[in-house]
Structure 1
Amino acid sequence: MISFIICLALLIGGYFVYGKVVENTFAPDDRETPAVRINDGVDYVVMPQWKLFLVQLLNIAGLGPIFGAMQGALWGPVVFLWITFGTIFAGGVHDYFSGMLSERNGGASISEVCGIYLGNVMKNVMRVFSVVLLVMVGTVFAVGPAGLIVTLLGNKGVTGAFANPEVWLWIILAYYFIATFISIDKIIGRIYPIFGICLIIMAIGVIFGIFTNPSYTIPEIWSHFTNMHPAGKPIWSFMFITVACGAISGFHSTQSPLMARCMKSEKQGHFVFYGAMVAEGVIALIWAAAGCAIYEVTGGLSTGLNDILANGQSAAIYDVCIKTMGTAGVALAMVGVIACPITSGDTAFRSARLVLADWFKIDQGKMQKRLVLCVPLLAVGAFVGHLDYSIVWRYFSWTNQTLAMIVLWTASMYLFREKKNYWITAVPATFMSAVSVTYFTCAEECLGLSTAVAYPAGIIFAVLFLGIFIHATKKPMKEQA
């Protein structure tokens, strides 16, 4: 329990100390923000800082820092270190710069931002990559809750149309259409802060339940500094890919422009972007602690946790809430497993609309032009929702962290151009390059090679990417000379 408290203190301290270093490096000023300058009443709308924070938290969180952290707990309390230091030095930095670079460039989507600093080839790659990823995320976060709602209603004896997952899928997609189409402050700005607060309360309830129950003990890192995964999956780099939300996640960079278009001042970025990432890290740390403390450890392996996770994410979250908060946790569990994925899904489709709008230069101030993008996007989502996407979804974790890597290299190039300390982004970019390439080389769904090949490959490519970046920084200097 002591190591958990230390990590929690480091996360909170990281917001005030390293978060301030990151903010000072970027140097926000008093220039007019896109929300004030453009203010189209749809996507560019000024919202108060507290709403920006809660909406950003819910946009980037969903079930990610809950289920991902519990899966990470299979490796044991060593996962606390990745959540803590990943959040402070990688995730918070990634989220801050993805949001602030969008704000500095008129609220541009992340694909356009990458193109500005890494060139047109990367811009086009990121355009396609982002839209496909966002539609996939949005669709999965519609199908999952639809099935869960049917299961819950079935347990209550409900029959007929409302016991059909197809009906609920279309209901959720209809909501997605409305939330994607109308002004961001009409639904997202009003309802999401409530769900954001529920997400925080649920995490507080879980850790309070663990602390007050003498049968639960959070293991110490120093006494369990070993790989406890029942299947023997290596910590490097599987744990770093599995625990994305709660440490660093490329998906966040697709969501940050939503709030970058709603800030009244650049100086809100520290609280909104870096702060929301730290809050997500705290939530992930709590759920990882729950996974380590509540379930059985046999022969030094997290076997009990593995068994509950095998029943699915909704069952695992429900089980933790019941065991830590009793019947009072049921309502919060339902918010977690139904509302959270839906709220991530609709902002995924909204972000996809903005990416396409930036790509094809379609003004979104007019209703007809928003319809031009919303209708086909949701139609594709409905089509994908009826496909067997399980194989494709296995690639999500890798593509997610690869996106984070690209965004960090983008921020590094921006800082170089501004003659600022680019190492605060280049170091985590190099690290994530090693993580991404190592996983792609050895994961079964990718190349499936041995770790003897994957580990050196990850290091070599990370060094190569860093070398390419350093070479790019040298060329302009020679030309100026």
Structure 2
Amino acid sequence: MSGIMIILFGLAGLSFGWFVYSRFIAQKIYRLDPDFKTPAHEFNDGVDYVPTNKYVLWGHHFTSVAGAAPIVGPAIAVYWGWVPALLWVTFGTIFFAGVHDMGALWASTRNKGKSIGALSENVIGKRTRSLFLIVIFLLLLMVNAVFAVVIAGGFVGTPGSVFPAWSAIVVALIIGQLLRRNYSLVLLTIAGVVALYLSIWAGTFIELTLPETMFGLTANANWIIILFVYAAIASMLPVWMLLQPRDFINGMQLIVGLILLYGAVFLTMPEMTAPMFNTQTAANTPSIFPLLFVTIACGAISGFHGIVASGTSSKQLDKETDARFVGYLGAIGEGSLALITIVAVCSVAYAASPEQWHTLYANFSDGGAPAFIAGGATLISSSWGLSENFAQVLLATMVALFAGTTMDSGVRLQRYIIQEWGDIYKINLFNKGVPATLIAVAACLLLAFGAGGSSGAGGMIIWPLFGATNQILASLTLLVITVMLMKMDRPAIYTLVPMIFVLITSFLAGLIQLVDFYQAGNYLLVTLDFIVLVVSVLVMLEAASVVSKLRKDKAAAADVR
């Protein structure tokens, strides 16, 4: 089958999601109000709360939630066959991710920009807030520690990506200052994208590397430290100075990258060499159900999106109606990236024949970002006449920039969580920005080097927990939105059904992993997995109690009438 058929199917579904379903959810369920005073205006402090143009905010939100996950997840999950991955990416984006992301943004905006963990106290109860924050902090710890490893590995493996990745920061700082002085967004966008692509071209000639050993650490470990120093500084700067313009330019760069990739598919019409359903899986391959639904998180639905939507994006929303553009369209952007990833790693661009594909995908998790970069670079170079080296640097830079923007937002969000703990437990030190940021970074470095030794790859030790934990958080976020809708006497079925499905699949995945961790003797992961599962059950019980009380109150009110 031609890859074009897959692209057309996916794009048709995503178009329905944007033009039809998202409009229905925005108008009839969330009832977005253009006159509602958003937290960005109510608490405008020029640092975290800043009213922002919806196009700029979309760029920030999209690149913060994207990271490398919508590439890595689908590139691994196609091992079961490209049909299951395609269906979950398409329908997951339409009915799960878009509703979840827009809902988290709306719910936070309606609650003074509180994070999904903090506002759970208002919606469900005080105990829920503390439980929620445990899962959120653990997830952020995983994301920040692991993405630092991913970026560092990319810098070491593709030295040409180092120059454009750091050049993007300089470009963003300049654009941030010019936007503040009301320069044209269109002109700055064009100039920023051109500058970024010139730096990518320069990166094919300028390969920057660190010494193999420095201060007794490998180049990989030193990059991890440098990245966390940068993330700490970036997370304390006003969002308009670096976070917004960097994410926006990265978003525009992705759009250009997607145009190149999608255009390449239409120009070359690559045939799929991967099987629709893989019947030649290795003996140790995990079951497709429920693992497919936690392997592909970003690109279908992801709890991390709810943290970003309620943590940073809601504090920058100019109008409540912008939540549809920022939240739902951000999810569609991720879905489109996951969609092209499936074609890139399952077609002749990556493997010339079915036999070669099975060789490259001999075992589960043999894919990932390297497969996307290899397949995507072949697509671009064979159709647009660009050198394969340039295409590889372009895609490697794309992965590094996405992971970097996620780290920027992730450390900032960790700081918010620590400050919220300071409010809950009356710890004054935690309330201040600098100490909270240092604690957040210290926690990440402790995991990276404490668990991983001098390699700094400690985050990889608990990374197997990410999939199930992330999706459990997504179900809990949908739970908060569902209860909120019930309290407002609005239809909740459109969030309730996705919540139940994601909860069942992610909870089962967590139980399967719990057994696997125990049998492997990995008691750290057993403990952490058990904590996440218990916390999710306790939150569900709290929510069930609130829903039961709501129903009794409504029944009593009906009897009175």
Deviation at 1:261, TM superposition (A): 0.5
Contact 1:308 1:315 (8 Å CA) reproduced: no
Alpha carbons of structure 1 residues 305 and 113: separation in structure 2 relative to 1, 3 Å: farther
Deviation at 1:310, TM superposition (A): 5.7
- 1:385 is matched with which residue? 448
- 1:122 is matched with which residue? 128
Deviation at 1:367, TM superposition (A): 13
- 1:247 is matched with which residue? 300
Within the candidate set 54, 59, 66, 1:61 is matched to 66
1:96 and 1:196 map into 2 onto residues whose CA distance is 18
Higher alpha-carbon deviation: 309-318 or 269-278: 309-318
Deviation at 1:173, TM superposition (A): 1.0
Within the candidate set 50, 55, 74, 1:45 is matched to 50
Q: Does 1:190 align with 2:193?
A: no
Alpha carbons of structure 1 residues 111 and 436: separation in structure 2 relative to 1, 3 Å: same
Q: Quick one: which amino acid aligns to residue 372 of structure 1?
A: P
RMSD, aligned CA? 3.1
Deviation at 1:113, TM superposition (A): 1.9
Q: How do 1:29-428 and structure 2 match up within 5 A?
A: 29=33, 30-78=35-83, 79-153=85-159, 158=209, 160=211, 164-213=219-268, 216-218=270-272, 224=276, 229-230=281-282, 232-257=285-310, 258-294=312-348, 295-296=350-351, 303-306=358-361, 313-326=368-381, 327=388, 328-361=390-423, 369-386=432-449, 387-388=451-452, 389=458, 390-428=460-498
2:208 and 2:230 map into 1 onto residues whose CA distance is 25
SS for the counterpart of 1:266 is coil
Q: How do 1:426-465 and structure 2 match up within 5 A?
A: 426-443=496-513, 445=516
1:378 and 1:158 map into 2 onto residues whose CA distance is 24
Alpha carbons of structure 1 residues 229 and 263: separation in structure 2 relative to 1, 3 Å: farther
SS for the counterpart of 1:385 is helix
Higher alpha-carbon deviation: 304-313 or 83-92: 304-313
1:164 and 1:10 map into 2 onto residues whose CA distance is 44
1:436 and 1:406 map into 2 onto residues whose CA distance is 11
- 1:477 is matched with which residue? 554
Deviation at 1:176, TM superposition (A): 0.4
Contact 1:138 1:348 (8 Å CA) reproduced: yes
2:364 and 2:261 map into 1 onto residues whose CA distance is 17
Q: Between the two proteins, what is the percent identity of the paired residues?
A: 27
2:282 and 2:7 map into 1 onto residues whose CA distance is 22
Number of residue pairs matched by the alignment: 463
Task: For residues 301-330 of structure 1, give each alpha carbon's deviation from its aligned partner in whole angstroms, at most 9, with x where no partner exists.
Answer: 952452598667442232123211233412
What are structure 1's unaligned runs of at least 5 residues? Answer: 449-460
1:85 and 1:152 map into 2 onto residues whose CA distance is 34
1:437 and 1:277 map into 2 onto residues whose CA distance is 23
Higher alpha-carbon deviation: 241-250 or 114-123: 114-123
1:441 and 1:171 map into 2 onto residues whose CA distance is 37
Deviation at 1:264, TM superposition (A): 1.2
1:210 and 1:230 map into 2 onto residues whose CA distance is 30
Task: For residues 138-178 of structure 1, give each alpha carbon's deviation from its aligned partner in whole angstroms, at most 9, with x where no partner exists.
Answer: 12111221233133349959563687223322221111011
Deviation at 1:369, TM superposition (A): 1.9
Higher alpha-carbon deviation: 389-398 or 302-311: 302-311
Higher alpha-carbon deviation: 148-157 or 103-112: 148-157
Higher alpha-carbon deviation: 226-235 or 89-98: 226-235
- 2:30 is matched with which residue? 26
Alpha carbons of structure 1 residues 371 and 467: separation in structure 2 relative to 1, 3 Å: closer
2:60 and 2:314 map into 1 onto residues whose CA distance is 12
Deviation at 1:212, TM superposition (A): 2.6
1:411 and 1:206 map into 2 onto residues whose CA distance is 36
Alpha carbons of structure 1 residues 314 and 293: separation in structure 2 relative to 1, 3 Å: closer
Query: Normalised by the size of structure 1, how large is the TM-score?
Result: 0.87
Task: For residues 246-274 of structure 1, give each alpha carbon's deviation from its aligned partner in whole angstroms, at most 9, with x where no partner exists.
Answer: 00000101101211101111010110001
Task: For residues 407-453 of structure 1, give each alpha carbon's deviation from its aligned partner in whole angstroms, at most 9, with x where no partner exists.
Answer: 111111011011101000001011112211221233464578xxxxx
Q: Quick one: which amino acid aligns to residue 12 of structure 1?
A: S
Q: Quick one: which amino acid aligns to residue 75 of structure 2?
A: M
What are structure 2's unaligned runs of at least 5 residues? Answer: 161-205, 382-387, 453-457, 520-536
Deviation at 1:226, TM superposition (A): 6.4
Q: Quick one: which amino acid aligns to residue 231 of structure 2?
A: Y
Contact 1:150 1:164 (8 Å CA) reproduced: yes
Task: For residues 332-388 of structure 1, give each alpha carbon's deviation from its aligned partner in whole angstroms, at most 9, with x where no partner exists.
Answer: 21222322111111211111111222332399xx99921121111112222222123
Higher alpha-carbon deviation: 231-240 or 370-379: 231-240
Contact 2:25 2:99 (8 Å CA) reproduced: yes
2:100 and 2:265 map into 1 onto residues whose CA distance is 31
Alpha carbons of structure 1 residues 422 and 250: separation in structure 2 relative to 1, 3 Å: same
Contact 2:60 2:245 (8 Å CA) reproduced: no
Alpha carbons of structure 1 residues 229 and 42: separation in structure 2 relative to 1, 3 Å: farther
Higher alpha-carbon deviation: 48-57 or 328-337: 328-337
2:221 and 2:209 map into 1 onto residues whose CA distance is 15
- 1:4 is matched with which residue? 7
2:484 and 2:279 map into 1 onto residues whose CA distance is 38
